[in-house]
């Protein structure tokens, strides 16, 4: 099963996706996602210049060896660009292996540990009552877990609140340079408790809630927030503080029993090793595309299981449907799976390019039994949607200090 060719595609069906196709001499091919939001072309160059030439002629079945060849075999390990490139190749090789075996990927990963994959939906609003109306819609649609984000009064834009722009997909092509947003921790604190107090008053305690702080707080502020929200019984609080220094979470953890979720930007197990082994978090949110593919996700999940940490893979729309379907196979098979973030399967244009059979029913997603990943990529349709340079926003405090976005 020699690798004959590897093709890289960049398309923008509303937002940019980097897609990798590994083709074998036998004609079997596999697909992978290599999208790093705002840094797409860096991964393309890394793949084309530094990865593809080394893989032609190798056996597509040697997933572990190829993974280590691209990770351990290079002097420059880790980092988002390298790991996204490894991830895409790894996904494509698992896709190939599944196709050759005639089995859906989850069967190769150990089979089903559950019947379906529980997901959480997003409720984003300009005001608290607007957010709560969105929660009501989510409950109506059958979701059992909802993430609540609300605009912060006094700030012009707030993370996760998209107003009438509705879905993230439309936003990206309109950012030729990074937009700037303002952050104020005190203004945020004036809003956030009311949000959950009113949410519990309206919906009771049957429904589960999460909230994403997007790393805006210092560790002691996170500790204060976790403590403040304890009585509202969150499933988890996501990314309260940056954990470049993983020790930060000791401080947060010692002050609060609000469960903590972290890791959507992590590239390897090393980024969260201390957090996991010291049981400083409850959910690890690494994504297949950014943490080195299916092989690495499985390893991280197994390590996390030793410390009672569950997986809650990142599910933002900047991960392509290929990553999402890879997550579904992992989620259905991983014993310590917790929950999957879900913001839809993609806009109309995206679904013209990426064709799959996953479906949502009653807040759960089901994956098809097609061999491999069970997703197709329409190269011709993709050509219509050309790459557009685009950036994530940056964040500043009200006095102009650059802050965590």
Which residues are catalytically annotated? 159, 214
Query: Quick check: 294 and 288 in contact, CB under 8 A?
Result: yes
- Strand bridging mode 260-262 / 236-238: parallel
Of 40, 95, 212, 221, the one binding Co ion (CB under 5 A) is: 212
- Residue written as tokens 């351990």? 72
Contacts of Co ion in 133-192 (CB under 5 A) = none
Pick between residue 97 and residue 314 the one whose CB is nearest to ligand EZ4.
314
Handedness of CA 286, 290, 293, 296 (dihedral sign): negative
Strand partners for 24: 3
Q: What is the DSSP string of 245-259?
A: STTHHHHHHHH--S-
Cα separation of 7 and 120, whole Å? 34
Judged by beta carbon, residue 314 or residue 329, the one nearer ligand EZ4 is: 314
User: Which secondary structure element, helix H or strand E, spans residue 32, and what is its range?
Assistant: strand 29-33
- The residue at minimum Cβ distance from ligand EZ4 is 316
Spatial separation of the C-alpha atoms in residues 296 and 243, rounded to whole Å: 20
Q: Which is nearer to ligand EZ4, 317 or 371 (CB)?
A: 317
Contact window for Co ion (CB under 5 A) among 77-85, 106-114, 122-130, 206-214? 206-214
Smaller CB separation from Co ion, 6 or 123: 123
Query: Closest distance between ligand EZ4 and the C-beta of residue 381, in Å?
Result: 24
Least distance from Co ion to the Cβ atom of residue 213, Å: 9
Which of 100/316 has CB closer to ligand EZ4?
316
End-to-end CA gap in the chain: 44
Nearest residue (CB) to Co ion, 232 versus 236: 236
Separation between Cα atoms, residue 25 and residue 90, nearest integer Å: 18
Could you tell me the smallest distance in angstroms from the CB atom of residue 52 to ligand EZ4? 25
Q: How many degrees, rounded to 5, is the angle at CA 195 between CA 279 and CA 401? A: 75
Residue 392 interacting partner from Co ion, ligand EZ4, none (CB closer than 5 to 8 Å by kind): ligand EZ4
CB of residue 145 to ligand EZ4, shortest distance in Å: 13
Among Co ion, ligand EZ4, none, what binds residue 21 when CB lies within 5 to 8 Å by partner kind? none
Which range of residues in 64-72, 111-119, 208-216, 385-393 is near Co ion by CB under 5 A? 208-216
Q: Give the one entry of Co ion, ligand EZ4, none that residue 345 binds, where binding means its C-beta sits below a cut-off of 5 to 8 angstroms depending on kind.
A: none
CB under 5 to 8 A by kind: which of Co ion, ligand EZ4, none does 37 bind?
ligand EZ4
Residue closer to ligand EZ4, measured from CB, 93 or 150: 150
* Secondary structure (DSSP) of 311-355: E-----TTS-HHHHHHHHHHHHH-TTB--EE-S-S--HHHHHHEE
Structural element, H or E, at residue 29: strand 29-33
> Among 338, 337, 367, 340, which residue's Cα sits nearest to residue 105?
367
Instruction: Indicate the length of the chain as a whole number.
Output: 405
Site membership for Co ion, residue 318 (CB under 5 A): no
**From the CB of 317, what's the least distance to ligand EZ4, in Å?**
8
Piece of the chain touching Co ion by CB under 5 A; list 58-66, 77-85, 204-212, 366-374: 204-212
Site for ligand EZ4, rule CB under 6 A = 37, 212, 214, 264, 314, 316, 318, 341, 392
The minimum distance between CB 225 and ligand EZ4, in angstroms, equals 16
Query: What is the token pair recorded at 63?
Result: 């997933």
Rama region for 237: left / alpha / beta (φ>0; ψ in -120 to 50; rest): beta
Q: Kindly state the smallest distance separating residue 334's Cβ from ligand EZ4, in Å.
A: 19
Residues found near Co ion in the complex (CB under 5 A): 212
């Amino acid at each position: 099963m020699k690798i004959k060719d590897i093709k890289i595609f960049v398309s923008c069906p509303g937002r940019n996706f980097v897609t990798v196709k590994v083709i074998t001499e036998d004609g079997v091919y596999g697909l992978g996602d290599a999208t790093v939001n705002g840094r797409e072309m860096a991964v393309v160059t890394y793949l084309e210049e530094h990865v593809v030439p080394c893989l032609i002629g190798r056996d597509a079945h040697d997933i572990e060896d190829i993974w280590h060849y691209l990770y351990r075999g290079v002097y420059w390990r880790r980092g988002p660009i390298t790991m996204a490139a490894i991830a895409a190749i790894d996904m494509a090789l698992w896709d190939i292996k599944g196709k050759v075996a005639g089995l859906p990927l989850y069967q190769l990963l150990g089979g089903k540990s559950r019947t379906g994959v529980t997901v959480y939906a997003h409720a984003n609003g300009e005001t608290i009552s607007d957010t709560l109306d969105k929660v009501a819609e989510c409950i109506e649609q059958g979701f059992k877990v909802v993430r609540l984000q609300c605009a912060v009064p006094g700030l012009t834009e707030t993370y996760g609140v998209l107003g009438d722009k509705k879905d993230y997909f439309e936003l990206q092509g309109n950012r030729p340079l990074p937009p700037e947003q303002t952050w104020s921790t005190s203004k945020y604190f004036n809003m956030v408790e009311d949000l959950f107090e009113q949410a519990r008053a309206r919906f009771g305690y049957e429904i589960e809630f999460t909230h994403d702080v997007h790393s805006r707080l210092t560790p002691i502020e996170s500790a204060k927030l976790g403590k403040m929200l304890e009585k509202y019984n969150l499933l988890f609080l996501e990314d309260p503080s940056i954990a470049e220094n993983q020790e930060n979470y000791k401080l947060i953890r010692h002050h609060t029993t609000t469960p903590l979720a972290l890791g959507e930007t992590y590239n390897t197990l090393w980024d969260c090793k201390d957090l996991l082994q010291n049981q400083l978090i409850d959910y690890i949110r690494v994504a297949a595309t950014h943490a080195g593919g299916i092989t690495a996700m499985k390893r991280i999940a197994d390590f996390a299981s030793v410390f009672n940490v569950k997986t809650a893979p990142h599910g933002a729309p900047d991960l392509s449907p290929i990553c999402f379907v890879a997550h579904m196979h992992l989620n259905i098979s991983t014993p310590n799976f917790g929950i999957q973030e879900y913001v839809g399967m993609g806009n109309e244009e995206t679904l013209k390019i990426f064709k799959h059979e996953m479906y949502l029913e009653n807040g759960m997603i089901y994956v098809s039994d097609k061999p491999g990943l069970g997703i197709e990529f329409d190269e011709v349709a993709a050509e219509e949607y050309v790459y557009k340079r685009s950036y994530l926003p940056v964040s500043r405090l009200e006095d102009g200090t650059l802050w965590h976005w």
